[in-house]
Chain A
Amino acid sequence: MSPSRGDRWLAGALGLAAALAGGAIVLILAFLVIEAWPALRQVGLSRFLGDSGWLPAAGPDGNFNLVPMLAGTVAVTAGAMLLAVPAGVISAIFCRYYAPLGVSHIYRRLIEVLAGIPSVVYGFWGLVVLVPWITRFRPPGQSLLAGALILALMVLPTVALLAESALRSLPRSYFEGAAALGLGRFTTVRSLALPAAAPGIGAGCVLATARALGETMAVLMVCGNVVQVPTSFFDPIRTLTANIALEMAYATQFHRSALFVSGLALMGLVGLLISAVERLSPKPAYE
């Protein structure tokens, strides 16, 4: 539109920046697929789910059963969400409806600070405080339980903050209407506010689940990293993410390709959750 030469240069530069930023995800996905391809082709999907164990370093003839890691990931995430969803949603309700104004403000700040603590710090605290504490009841301490507790603490802020903002965005008229009808606080919250804010709260929970699934450091540090399908809360487990972090350092060739398969599996799970968030809320899936 504009004939100026400086403008054309700038348009080119901005377009290039945008292409880089927009193309990054394509590049990442492409690399995951390319690197995972040798293992996928030679081993096949079925062996990743049905082999007798995980011995990928032996090359194409090794064992490639990802099921323990999948089970570990799902179990630790489910355990974390079981705790974080109620605690997060109740925290949001507390902030909006039950806490005195000053307390609500401070509590919200505190949750924001919790959200800002790096995962490696959570993992470290879990390792030096939580794990020895669990060991007193049931050794070895590094366990599914420790992982779920730490993860719950880590994603609770996501649930709480998104639920709080969903509740806050409800129109005032709802509550004026409820008050005019003489509805009590609990009835208003349970029958009016929660259902109306449900899509937003749901989106927050799904987003938190995606975060828990993809978390690496904290679970790597507290879960024990034993390749097994857990049978109790006190069993050590290894997640998909921890598996990559542990073995990538020395993995070569075929083994490495197998790790990219688990990266791809992880990305697939997260992608599913993100598309669920898009379905739930019209807003972009950003924190």
Chain B
Amino acid sequence: MNRSSVKADRTATFLCWIVAFAVTGTFFWILWDLLGHGFKGISWSFLTTQPRDAGRSGGISSVLVSTSLILGVCLGVAIPTGVGTAAFLSEWIPRKSRVGRWIRRSLDLLAAVPSIVFGLFGAVFFGEVLGFGFSILSGGLTLALMVLPILIRATEAGFRSASEELRLGGAALGLRRATILRHLLLPAASHGIVVGLVLGVGRALAETAALIFTSGYVTRMPSSLLDSGRSISVHIYDLAMNVPGGEANAYATAVVLILLLILINSLASWATQTWLGGRSLP
């Protein structure tokens, strides 16, 4: 190696470390700031009392309930539709069929739709055309559309990873395709489904823009799925932007949101490991 190339390599090394330090530094800056301000606000009563004074004081219990309900509607619709679509794509039609190509293409496009556009669509279609108004139902259904592409892609990968022997062996015993799918392929695809669920729930929990015009702002404890309910991300946004003096509770809520995301991720990796471990016994 000549001297100029040694020098260039040294410059590149330096540059790499600088960027890495900057990114890492910013990360810890954000983390330190959020935890530093937010952690002290979290307590059992914060989680279990309702927001008061537009959220400045009180807790986030109704927000957590609305968030769970929205997630429940979202998953209740997205899981059957997503797993069904994945099964259709991977087990029912030939891999390179025209129908399959079109469905995959439209899912690719769906994955790229900005969340505010989902919000527009959800407000009009679920809110007005179907008449659900500003409600948990509208919000959950809108989110279901958003997470479908991720869920389908991961589940389809799970089905494809199931070995061909299962299909042949099942067919050779005269099992119906429904039985093969339910008892043999679905368990084999379960880790794909879990991965898709984690990614989907992560996206749904983090989503704000699509929910503002669908599930709305109301902080009251919802009494039915047709009530408006404020999700945790919307709560952070509203406290930060529209409520002077809402900062402390916004910090605490942001920390709760991040803890929830971490919890879901660890649950999923634990589940995947346990199941995969169970399957790969000697």
Contact = CB atoms under 8 A, between A and B. Distances in A.
Q: Touching in the complex, A and B, CB below 8 A?
A: yes
B19 interface: yes
B149 interface: yes
Given A14-B85, A18-B85, A124 B116 contact: no
Contact of B202 (A116, A153, A184, A285): A116
Contacts of B237: 120, 123-124, 217, 221
Contacts of A23: 106
B113 interface: yes
Contacts of A114: 23, 27
Contact of B16 (A7, A94, A122): A94
A174 interface: no
Nearest to B179: A6
Contacts of B123: 248
A66 to B, nearest CB: 15
The winner among B87, B88, B149, B213 for most chain A CB atoms within 10 A is B88
Contact of A25 (B106, B178, B250, B258): B106
Interface size class of B (residues with CB under 8 A): 35 or more
Interface of A is mostly: helix
How many residues of A sit at the interface, in one of the four size bands? Answer: 35 or more
A199 B207 CA distance: 30
B124 interface: yes
Contacts of A111: 23
Given A22-B106, A129-B33, A13 B84 contact: yes
B85 A117 contact: no
Contact of A248 (B103, B115, B120): B120
Given A241-B116, A270-B113, A125 B84 contact: no
B60 interface: no
B254 A121 contact: yes
Given A2-B176, A99-B16, A184-B9, A245 B212 contact: yes
Contact of B120 (A25, A156, A259, A274): A259
A7 B30 contact: no
Contact of B112 (A16, A27, A123, A274): A274
A217 B1 CA distance: 50
Given A107-B24, A267-B113, A4 B178 contact: yes
A114 B27 CA distance: 7
20 contacts: A2-B176, A2-B177, A4-B176, A6-B178, A7-B177, A7-B178, A10-B177, A10-B181, A11-B177, A17-B85, A17-B88, A20-B85, A23-B106, A94-B16, A94-B19, A98-B16, A121-B258, A214-B115, A249-B212, A266-B116
For the complex of A and B, the 6 pairs showing the least CB-CB separation, nearest first, are A214-B114, A17-B84, A118-B206, A22-B103, A186-B9, A216-B209
Interface of B: 1, 5-6, 8-9, 12-13, 15-17, 19-20, 22-24, 26-27, 29-30, 33-34, 80-85, 87-89, 92, 102-104, 106-121, 123-125, 145, 148-150, 152-153, 176-178, 181, 202, 205-209, 212-213, 233-234, 236-237, 240-241, 247, 250, 254, 257-258, 261, 265
